[in-house]
Structure 1
Amino acid sequence: MESMKDYEKELERSFRTINEGDIVSGAVVAVTDEEVTLDLNYYAPGIIKIENLSNDPDFHAKEELQPGDIIEATVVRTDDGHGNIELSKKEANEVLAWDKLREMMEQQTVVTVRIKESVPSGVVAFLEGIRAFIPASQLSADYVEDTDAWIGKDVRVVVITVDPEKNKLVLSGKVVARQEREEERNHRIAMLVPGSVVEGTVESIMPYGAFINIGNGISGLVHISQISQKRISSVHEVLKEGQKVKAKILNTNDGKVSLSMKALEDIMEKPQEEEEAEAIEYSSNETAGTSLGDLLSRFKL
C-alpha cells in the first residue's frame, strides 16, 4: 500500500514557492547549444540560457557540464512564457562566488586556472566565473617579462585578494610555484645519503664557512671548523668562489645540508698511515743481507 511518505516529494513541490531573486539549486538534466535545463525538484523546470551561465568567454557548457551536476542560480522570471523558470548563474555568482573565493583565500586552496588574455602589468583568468587578475610579478617564481607567452597556459594559483565591493579578485601563481619548488628541493635533500662524498663549486663565502653548490639546486654549508685539519682564521685562506671541491655529507637535518672537507682529509690520511705502518712492520721482521753468501744460500743446486 502507498503511504504518505511516497508523496513527500510531491507535497514538498506543491507547498514550495519560488520567487524572483531567489537563489535555487538544481541538477543538470540536459545541455544544448542554447540552454541548460535543471531539475529544481519543483513542478516547473529551470532554464539557464547559455549567455547567462558564465562571464568566462571561453566557457563551453557542453564540455564542462554533465547530467547530474548541481548548479546554483538566481531566479530571473518565474515563467519564461513556456512554463519554465528562467535562471541566471551569472547573477548567483555575484552573490555566492565571492563567499567561496574568500574561503579559498583563507584556506590557501590551490586551484588551476587558464590564462585568457594579457593586460598591462599582468594577465587575466576566470575563477568561479569571476574575472581575476594575476600581476606579472605573481605569475611565476621566476621573473616574467613577456606576459603574452602565458596566454592559454594553465597555472596553479592561490587567491590573495578578494574585494567584492570593488569587484577585485587577485591570484598568485608565484606562491604555489615557490611552495612546489621548496617541496621538490626538500625531497632531493632527503634522498642524499649522509657519509657519501659529493663534488661541488664554492658559490659564496661567509665569515662562518662556505656554501657549496652540489647540483640539483642544492647548496650545503661547510662550517669553517670543517674546512681543514689545520686551524684557520679565515675561510679565504683555503677557499675561493668558483673553486671545485669535494666534501662529505655530514647530515641533512631540517632541509639543510651540512658538509665536511676535513672528514675527507681524515679518509686520505688513514690509508697513508696504514701503508707506513705496514712498511715499518715489514722492515722490522726482515733482516737485510747483501753478502754473496746470503744470496747464494737461497738457491738449491
Structure 2
Amino acid sequence: MTNFEKLLDEQLSTLCFKPNEIVEAAVVEVDRHKVLVDVGLHTTGELKITEFMVPPSVGDYIQVVVDELDDGEGNLKISHNEVMVKQQLDDVQSLVENKTTVDAKVVEIRKAGLIVNVGYLTGFMPKRQASIEYVEDFTSFLNQVFKVKILSHDQIHENLIVSHKQYLIDEIGGEIARLEAPVEVGGVYEGKVTGIAPFGLFVDIGSHSTVLLHITDINWDLTKAVIEDFKFGDILSLRAKSVVTSDNGSQRICMSLKHMDMSPWEKAKDDFVIGERFKATIYKIEEETGNLIVSINGIPGVVENKDVSWTRMTNSNLNNVFKRGQEIDVVVKGFENKMGFESIVLSHKGCQSNPWESINEKFKVGQVLDTVVTSVSEKMLFVKVEGDVEAIVHVREVDWINPFEAIKSISSGDNVRVKLMEIDSSERKVSASICRTTEDPYKGIVAGTKVLAKVESIRVNSVHLSVLRKGKKLEATLPARYVNTVSRWLPSGEIEVGCELNLEVSMIMSGILYLKPDNSERAQSSFGTGDNPFAEAIKAALKF
C-alpha cells in the first residue's frame, strides 16, 4: 500500500460516523425550506428550516446528531433539534432550582391552559398561571412571548409547567412570609395584591395560599368599591371576617378591608330607624337563596326572599321582575350584626298592602281571567292575578293535546285567558289553567267509544291517525296487530294515507287514543261499496 493510500485510509477512518453521535457541521446553504450542512469531507446533510428557532447563516457552525448513516438513498440523516432538546433537558433541573426566568412563546390555546415553546422544549402554562388579572378570553395570548418561571419538569413526558404569574410576583419582591400561626377571626393581617378580577382582589397573606378580597368587602359604601383603585403589588392591612377549617386542616379564609374601620356601620345603625322607608338599589340577586342584595345610601342591605313579595317568587320570577341597578322601595326591619356579614335587614313587600287578605273576596275558584304572562319555564308559567299576586299554571294545564310543545310558544308579556283552579290565601298560592277555558276534547271518550279516524301516516309498527273532536285534532294510533284485520275490510285491501276508518277506542294514554277495529255491523258495512264484489263477499261472511 502506498503512502498516499495509507494517509487516505487514516482520514476516512476519522470521518466514520456512528449513529446518535453529535458532530459539528458547517452551514453551506440556507433557503426557505431547508438548511444544508457539511459534516466533513464534503459529506452533506439536510435539515428542515423548522428545526431552528432562529435560522442560521452560511458559514455558521452548528451541532447535529447523526440519526442514520444511510437513509436508503445514500444520504446522511441528521438532526439539529434533537441536539438542542437534549442540551436544554440537561439544564432544566438547575433552571427550576434557581428559579431562572426564561422566555415562553404561546403556540396553542387549550381548555385548561396554554401550550408554550421554551426554547426547543414544549411546556404547559395553566390559565390561572397566565396572569395576575382575571382573563376571560385568551385569544390575544397566541403567538405572544412571555417571561416565565419553570415551576416543575415532568421527566416522563418531558413537559415543563411554567408560570407568567409567578414571574410577576417575583418582580414585586416575592410572596409574603408564611404565617407562624393559623388565621383567627377578627385578626389583622398584612397582604400583598397578587391578582385582580372584576369581582375582587387576590391577596397573598403568607398563609401558603392566596385569599379572595371580594369587592363587597372593600368599602362599606358599595358605590365606592372600585377595583381600578388597586394595582398589583399593593400592600393592604386586612381583617379576617371568617375562617372555615376542613377535616384535613386546611382553611378557607375570607378577608375584609372595610372592617378595618367599623365607624360607617355604627353610624348606619343610628341613621336607619326600624320601620322607616328608604330607596334601595339592587346590587345582586342571589341564585341560591333568592335574596336581593341591595345598597341603601351606600350601605349594604339584604331583602330576604320571603320579604321580596307577597307572592312566592322563584328565580325565574325574580330575574324577570328585578334587575341589577333597579331602584326599589324598602322598609327597615332590623340589623344583622354578625362579624363580617353586617347588613341592614329590609323588606320590599312591607311597602305594599297585603293582597292575600282580600283575595278570597275578589276572586273565586272557576273564575275566568284575561291576564298576562309574567314568566315562563319548561315546566310551568306564571300569570298576573292582581298586584303582586300571581297564579301558577303547570305545563299540563297549558294545552289539552300537546302541552309541552304549547308552552314553548308562550313568552313573558303574552296575553292569555286562564281559569282559576285553586286559591289558598294561607299558603299564598293560586293555581290556574289555560286549557280548561275551552271544552275538554277528551270528555266522553272512554274505552269502547266509536270514532271516525283519518290516516295521517303509516309506520313500521303502527298506523298514525287523527280524530277530530270538538274542533280539536286528537292524536291516535292503531297498533300493528290490528292492521291486517282492518286492511281486509277495505275495498283496496290495504290502508292508505288520507282514508277514514271507523274504529273503537281501546284506551287513552298520555293524550293518545289507542284504537282497535270496530266489529259492529255499522262499522263493517262502512268499509267498501256495493260495486266491489270482494268487499261484499267479506261483509256477507261477517254477517254470517
TM-score (norm 2): 0.29
Instruction: Give the structure with the larger helix fraction.
Output: 1
* Structure 1 length-normalised TM: 0.49
| Structure of greater relative contact order (alpha carbons < 8 Å, 6+ residues apart) | 1
